[in-house]
C-alpha cells in the first residue's frame, strides 16, 4: 500500500499545484470586465498572464495523465462519470487558449470583442466547473457497483457543489488580482489591489461557510477526527489567507500572491486528505468508492512512474520558477508595443 499512498499524495499535490498556477490566469480572465476599463488595460491583463498561462495549463494535462497512469480505475469512473461537466470545461479552455493567440492577429475592434468574450467566459467557466466538480468529488457522487455515475449534470449543482464553484471562482479571482498587482503599474494596479481586498473578505466568508457545509454534507472530517494531527493541513489555507492580507496591506504583492497560492494548495489538500484512501467516493455505498486499493496501477507501473516523477517534476518546477522570476517585470507601454506581445 506504500506505493499507492505515495501516489495518492502526489495526485493531490498535482491538482493543488495546477489550481495554484492556472488559478491566477483563470482569475485574471474572470476579472477582466471588472478591472480593465480600456484596450490598453485589457492588454496589460492579457500580457500579465502572457508568458505563463500555457505552461500553467500543462499541470492540468499532467494531473489528468497521472490519474490515468496511476489510478486508471478512478480516471475511467471520474472522466466518464462527469462527462458533460468535463466537456464544458474542455470547450471553455479551448476558447480561452485560442483567444490569447487570435485576438491581436486582426486589427478590428469587433474581432477583439469576440475573443475577449471567449476569454472571459473561458476563464470564469473553468473556475466554476472545477470548483463544482471537486466539491462533488469531496462529497462523493452516486457511483454504483459497476463504477458508473447514476447521477446527472444537474445533480452536481447541489448546494455543496455550488458552494465549491463559488469558492473556486473567488479563490482564483483573488489569486489573479494579486498577480495583476505584481505585473501591472499605475491605475490598474491600484484597482487590482482594491479588488483583492474586497475579494479577500468575500473569500474568508465563503471559506468559513464552505468548511461548515463540508461538515454537514461530507465525511471529510472523519479522517481528521480519527487522527487530529491531520488538522495541521487546515493551517495552510488559514495561514495563507492571513499572510496574503498582511502582505496586501504592506503592498508586497509578490508575497501576497505566494500566500494566496499556499491557501489554494491548502484548500485542495484539505479535501484530498479528508477523502483518503478514496479518490472518488461513492455516495451510494463506500464499498463502491474508487480508492487506492481498487483503482491503482500495478506496483511495477507505479514504481516506474515514481522514478519519472522524482526526476522530472523537480526539473519542471525549477524551470517554471525561473520563468516566473525572469518574466515577473511590470508590464510597461514598451512591453505592449513589443510586436510579439498579446
Shorter beta-carbon distance to other proteins: residue 85 or 207: 85
Q: How far is the CB of 70 from other proteins (least distance, A)?
A: 8
Distance CA 323, CA 342 (A): 17
Q: How far is the CB of 115 from other proteins (least distance, A)?
A: 10
Q: How far is the CB of 173 from other proteins (least distance, A)?
A: 23
Distance CA 70, CA 307 (A): 13
Q: How far is the CB of 302 from other proteins (least distance, A)?
A: 9
Shorter beta-carbon distance to other proteins: residue 92 or 173: 92
Shorter beta-carbon distance to other proteins: residue 232 or 323: 323
Q: How far is the CB of 14 from other proteins (least distance, A)?
A: 10
Shorter beta-carbon distance to other proteins: residue 209 or 304: 304
Shorter beta-carbon distance to other proteins: residue 252 or 335: 335
Question: Is 23 in contact with 172 (CB distance < 8 Å)?
Answer: yes
Shorter beta-carbon distance to other proteins: residue 179 or 210: 179
Q: How far is the CB of 294 from other proteins (least distance, A)?
A: 11
Amino acid at each position: 500500500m506504500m506505493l499507492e499512498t505515495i501516489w495518492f499524495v502526489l495526485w493531490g499535490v498535482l491538482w493543488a499545484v495546477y489550481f495554484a498556477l492556472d488559478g491566477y490566469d483563470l482569475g485574471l480572465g474572470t476579472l477582466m470586465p471588472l478591472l480593465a476599463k480600456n484596450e490598453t488595460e485589457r492588454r496589460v491583463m492579457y500580457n500579465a498572464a502572457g508568458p505563463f498561462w500555457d505552461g500553467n495549463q500543462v499541470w492540468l494535462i499532467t494531473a489528468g495523465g497521472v490519474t490515468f497512469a496511476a489510478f486508471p480505475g478512478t480516471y475511467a469512473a471520474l472522466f466518464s462519470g462527469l462527462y458533460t461537466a468535463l466537456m464544458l470545461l474542455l470547450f471553455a479552455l479551448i476558447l480561452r487558449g485560442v483567444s490569447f493567440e487570435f485576438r491581436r492577429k486582426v486589427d478590428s475592434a469587433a474581432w477583439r470583442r469576440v475573443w475577449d468574450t471567449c476569454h472571459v467566459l473561458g476563464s470564469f467557466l473553468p473556475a466554476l466547473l472545477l470548483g463544482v466538480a471537486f466539491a462533488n468529488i469531496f462529497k462523493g457522487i452516486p457511483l454504483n457497483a459497476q463504477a458508473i455515475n447514476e447521477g446527472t449534470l444537474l445533480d452536481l449543482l447541489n448546494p455543496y457543489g455550488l458552494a465549491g464553484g463559488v469558492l473556486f471562482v473567488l479563490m482564483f479571482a483573488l489569486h489573479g488580482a494579486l498577480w495583476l498587482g505584481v505585473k501591472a503599474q499605475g491605475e490598474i494596479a491600484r484597482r487590482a489591489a482594491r479588488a483583492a481586498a474586497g475579494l479577500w473578505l468575500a473569500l474568508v466568508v465563503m471559506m468559513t461557510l464552505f468548511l461548515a457545509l463540508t461538515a454537514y454534507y461530507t465525511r471529510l472530517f472523519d479522517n481528521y477526527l480519527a487522527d487530529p494531527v491531520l488538522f495541521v493541513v487546515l493551517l495552510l489555507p488559514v495561514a495563507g489567507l492571513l499572510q496574503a492580507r498582511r502582505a496586501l496591506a504592506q503592498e508586497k504583492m509578490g508575497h501576497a500572491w505566494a500566500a494566496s497560492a499556499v491557501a489554494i494548495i491548502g484548500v485542495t489538500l484539505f479535501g484530498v486528505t479528508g477523502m483518503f484512501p478514496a479518490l472518488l467516493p461513492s455516495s451510494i455505498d463506500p464499498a463502491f468508492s474508487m480508492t487506492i486499493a481498487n483503482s491503482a496501477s500495478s506496483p511495477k507501473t507505479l514504481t516506474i512512474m515514481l522514478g519519472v516523477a522524482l526526476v522530472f517534476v523537480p526539473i519542471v518546477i525549477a524551470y517554471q520558477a525561473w520563468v516566473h522570476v525572469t518574466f515577473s517585470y511590470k508590464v510597461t507601454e514598451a512591453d505592449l508595443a513589443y510586436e510579439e506581445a498579446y
